[in-house]
Amino acid sequence: MDMGLFSESVGVICTDTGQPQEVRWKGTRYTVTNEPVRWYERRQWWLEENRAPLGTGAGLVDHEIWRVQLLPTAADAETNHSITLDLVRHVGSGRWRLLRIHDAAPARAEEPEEAA
């Protein structure tokens, strides 16, 4: 289930090869549980930038996006449900943003009504 688009800052710790390994979001630390998937998407840079500096190329035109499946770390676990997020890394600054949430925490089952 896709929950929509976001643009919220997140903290990411990467492996030596640059893959997300741990994510801090809304005060909770999450561990990446499966191999993350990376791809690139075109961005509308002209809406965000006044001009394209000479030689900026790929970082200006494309977003580096990572899809990660996460579980809260043991210390931060209020639940053991995994979530799947798409994260964007800004090439110039190295900052990370949350782009999409795919799996929301499952809704709590409603209590059965008492028979009268």
Domain boundary assignment for the chain: 5-101
Q: What DSSP state is assigned to residue 16? A: T
How would residue 107 be classed by pLDDT, with cut points 50, 70 and 90? Answer: very low
Q: Tell me the pTM.
A: 0.70
Render pLDDT for 20-79 as a digit per residue (tens, 0 to 9).
999 999 889 999 999 999 998 876 656 655 555 555 555 556 778 999 999 998 776 666
Q: How far apart are CA 88 and CA 100, in angstroms?
A: 9
Q: b/e string for 86-113 if b means 16 or more Cβ within 10 A? A: bbbbeeeeeebbbbbbeeeeeeeeeeee
Contact 48, 63 (CB under 8 A): no
